[in-house]
Amino acid sequence: MKRIIPVYIFQQVNVLLVSLYLLKFLCIGELTILQILYGS
């Protein structure tokens, strides 16, 4: 039982990091699209 808990926490942290990573990419993508739209 003690072994399962750290694995669960590790998985939760990984999901959080991936979510933040994707969110950062979306923000950068939006900024790039806005720059292209207003630039042209």
Reported as a single tens digit per residue, the pLDDT across 1-19 is 678 889 999 999 999 999 9
Residue-by-residue DSSP string for 4-28: HHHHHHHHHHHHHHHHHHHHHHHHH
Residue 12: domain span: 1-34
9 domain-assigned: yes
Backbone angles phi, psi at 28, to 5 degrees: -65, -40
39 domain-assigned: no
Which one, of 27, 5, 7, lies nearest residue 15 by Cα? 7
Find tokens 């939760």 and name the residue.
12
40 domain-assigned: no
21 domain-assigned: yes
Cα angle 27, 33, 35; round to 5: 105
26 domain-assigned: yes
**Number of domains observed in the structure of the chain:** 1
Portion of the chain with pLDDT greater than 70, in percent:
98
Mean pLDDT of 26-36: 92
pTM, two decimal places: 0.59
13 domain-assigned: yes
